[in-house]
């Protein structure tokens, strides 16, 4: 009696595969293609083949690769037959056919698997149900690097469009120089801060941030330094500019010297007004805090990009009672500056500072270009939000191509 279940189980496992294999609908992968991935840096090949009606989780596709058409082929991947579709690839419609009717697998060069550019490789796909394996045709592809990534074409066009808007705005500003600029209290307060330092007979402390000269915010900070230096030269107030980066220091020395010259006070210029401390974050912070506590500057300027040292610097300055003006595009540090400084230039206001302070029509023109760009983006966000909401409510993908125009693809 006890042998009966064992006998039944034996019969089941022995006989089950026979009818299953007889009824197997397996066929070789159809419309198999191997191709170089478009718009990549080389070292990768794409494989695609038509999805079969028998694609189920129990079946598996196996990817084989060889250096020569006759082999030997090495299995490089295996996955369930209901996975890996062309529609899974996150690429825009203008550079990729997101077709769910096709399987897709990308063979990438890795440490274990080297794919050299300009060399042919051979691939085949096999489908297996665990018992029976059917090989598909062999296809070859040559991986090659490309000079343009079409997935970024929308980004490129938007960049060109925005650049054109800015350049047109500049050209218009040359013809019509009187452009209205909204008040930026932080920049209006620059003169007040320098005047206060002059009255108190104390120095002005100006920091250009923690980044090097390749950072836009550092460049903006050096441009504002020129205007501050000109005013401090006119008022005959001492200017102290401690630096973290020696290249920024050398450039700032030149800017301050020129500003004193322009202000007609070359005699008042001191070569050591710009000085290097260290490029170490917290050593620099400790040294600048020391300067604040010992020399008690009447005005502190924190322009440029800052990291964790932002609050340490600004809070120490607030403790000394100095008037403080900050300007940064470090969005994570903005709350600290807003809390501890009298005035804060938020993000783009830092970039607008040179135009605002100099009032040169050409520079002011760029601000109008920025505003036009912002209006365009605002309009796009509004339309995009409406379309995405309608798409979500109705359950349609009709607006996806339009929305993809504003997505960042890698």
Partner 1 sequence: MTLFFRRTFPLLLTFLFGVAAAIQYYIPHPVSEAALTEVSVWLRIILGFAMILGIASLCHVHYAKIRTRVAGWGYSLVVYLSMLATVAVGLWSSGQEEGTGFGWIYTYALLALQGTMFSMLGFFVASAAFRAFRARSKEAAVLLVAAVVMMFGRVPLGEYLIPAAGPMAGWLLNVLNTAARRGIIIGISLGGIATSIKIIFGIERSYLGGRD
Residues 229-288 that bind partner 1 (CB under 8 A): 243, 245-247, 249-251, 254-255, 257-259, 261-262, 272, 274-283, 285-286
Beta carbons of 369 and 346 less than 8 angstroms apart: no
The single residue among 50, 91, 152, 196 that binds partner 1, judged by CB under 8 A, is: 152
Which of 166, 187, 288, 364 binds partner 1 (CB under 8 A)? It is 166
Closest approach, Cβ 82 to partner 1, in A, equals 31
Site string for partner 1, 88-127 (x = CB under 8 A): ----------------------------------------
Near partner 1 by CB under 8 A: residue from 82, 128, 155, 238: 155
Selected range binding partner 1 among 61-69, 127-135, 220-228, 393-401, rule: CB under 8 A? 220-228
Task: Please state the closest distance from residue 278 (CB atom) to partner 1, in A.
Answer: 8
Task: Point out which span in 14-22, 51-59, 123-131, 158-166 binds partner 1 (CB under 8 A).
Answer: 158-166
Of 42 and 137, the one with the shorter C-beta distance to partner 1 is 42
Tokens 């090659």 correspond to: 144
Is 25 or 264 the residue whose CB approaches partner 1 more closely?
A: 264
**Of residues 45, 220, 299, 323, which one binds partner 1 by CB under 8 A?**
220
- CB of 187 vs partner 1, minimal distance in Å: 14
Where helices occur in 33-184 by DSSP H, the ranges are 153-175
Nearer to partner 1, 113 or 375 (CB): 375
- CB-CB contact of 76 with 82 (8 Å): no
Between residues 68 and 163, which has the closer beta carbon with respect to partner 1? Answer: 163
Closest CA relative to residue 151, chosen from 43, 44, 38: 38
DSSP state of 201: T
201 conformational bin, left if phi > 0, alpha if psi -120 to 50, beta if neither: left
Q: Report 30-89 residues binding partner 1 (CB under 8 A).
A: 39-42
Beta-bridge mates of residue 386: none
Site for partner 1 in 294-323 (CB under 8 A): 294, 308, 311-312, 314-316, 318
Query: Which residue's CB is nearer to partner 1, number 59 or number 355?
Result: 355
274 near 253, Cβ under 8 Å?
yes
**Side by side, which strands form the sheet with 239-243?**
274-276, 239-243, 204-207, 299-303, 323-328, 343-346
**In the window 132-151, what residues touch partner 1 (CB under 8 A)?**
145-149
Minimal distance, residue 316 CB to partner 1, in Å: 8
Tokens of residue 341, six digits: 């400084």
**If binding means CB under 8 A, how many residues of this protein chain bind partner 1?**
85
Nearest to 268 by CA among 198, 373, 337, 213: 198
Residues paired with residue 345 on neighbouring β-strands, in sequence order? 327
- Nearer CB in complex with partner 1: 78/280: 280
Q: Which helix (H) or strand (E) holds 374?
A: helix 361-394
In the range 333-372, which residues lie near partner 1 by CB under 8 A?
Answer: 334, 336, 339-340, 346-348, 350-352, 354, 358, 362-363, 366-367, 369-370
Name the token pair of 98. 């997101």
Cα–Cα distance measured from residue 260 to residue 196, given in angstroms and rounded to the nearest whole number: 19
Cβ neighbour number for residue 243 with a 10 Å cutoff: 22
**Least separation, in Å, of the C-beta of 6 and partner 1?**
56
What b-and-e string marks burial along 354-391, b requiring 16 or more CB atoms within 10 Å of the CB? Answer: bbbbeeebebbbbbbbbeebeeeeeeeeeebeebeeeb
Quick check: 210 binds partner 1 (CB under 8 A)?
no
**Whole-angstrom distance between the N-terminal and C-terminal Cα of the chain?**
67
DSSP letter for each residue of 345-364 = EETHHHHHHHHHHH--HHHH
Binder among 138, 168, 170, 189 for partner 1 (CB under 8 A): 170
Site string for partner 1, 2-31 (x = CB under 8 A): ------------------------------
The encoded tokens of residue 210 equal 């923690």
- Residue 146 CB, shortest distance to partner 1, in Å, is 6
């Amino acid at each position: 009696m006890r042998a009966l279940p064992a006998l039944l189980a034996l019969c089941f496992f022995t006989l089950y595969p026979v009818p299953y294999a007889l009824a197997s609908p397996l066929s070789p992968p159809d419309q198999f293609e191997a191709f170089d991935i478009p718009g990549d840096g080389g070292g990768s090949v794409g494989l695609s083949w038509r999805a079969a009606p028998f694609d189920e989780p129990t079946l598996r596709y196996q990817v084989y690769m060889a250096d020569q058409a006759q082999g030997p082929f090495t299995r490089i991947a295996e996955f369930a037959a209901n996975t890996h579709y062309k529609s899974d690839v996150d690429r825009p419609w203008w550079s990729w056919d997101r077709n769910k009717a096709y399987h897709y697998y990308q063979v990438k060069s890795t440490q274990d698997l080297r794919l050299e550019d300009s060399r042919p490789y051979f691939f085949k796909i096999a489908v297996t149900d665990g018992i029976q394996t059917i090989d598909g045709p062999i296809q070859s592809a040559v991986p090659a690097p490309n000079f343009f990534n079409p997935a970024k074409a929308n980004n490129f066009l938007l960049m060109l469009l925005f650049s054109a808007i800015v350049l047109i705005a500049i050209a218009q500003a040359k013809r019509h120089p009187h452009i209205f600029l909204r008040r930026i209290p932080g920049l209006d307060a620059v003169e007040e801060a320098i005047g206060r330092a002059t009255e108190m007979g104390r120095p002005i402390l100006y920091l250009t941030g923690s980044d090097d000269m390749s950072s836009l915010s550092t460049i903006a900070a050096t441009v504002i330094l020129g205007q501050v230096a000109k005013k401090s030269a006119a008022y005959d107030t001492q200017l102290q500019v401690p630096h973290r980066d020696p290249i920024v220091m050398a450039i700032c020395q030149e800017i301050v010297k020129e500003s004193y010259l322009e202000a007609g006070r070359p005699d008042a210029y001191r070569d050591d007004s710009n000085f290097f401390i260290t490029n170490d974050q917290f050593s620099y912070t400790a040294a600048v805090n020391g300067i604040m506590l010992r020399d008690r500057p009447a005005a502190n300027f924190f322009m440029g990009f800052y990291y964790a040292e932002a609050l340490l610097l600004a809070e120490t300055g607030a403790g000394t009672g100095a008037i403080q003006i900050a300007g940064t595009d470090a969005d994570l540090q903005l709350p600290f500056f807003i809390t501890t400084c009298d005035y804060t230039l938020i993000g783009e206001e830092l970039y607008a500072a040179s135009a605002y302070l100099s009032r040169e029509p050409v520079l002011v023109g760029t601000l109008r270009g920025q505003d036009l760009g912002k209006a365009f983006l605002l309009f796009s966000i509004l339309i995009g939000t409406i379309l995405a909401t309608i798409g979500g409510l109705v359950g349609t993908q009709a607006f996806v191509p339009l929305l993809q125009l504003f997505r960042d693809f890698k």
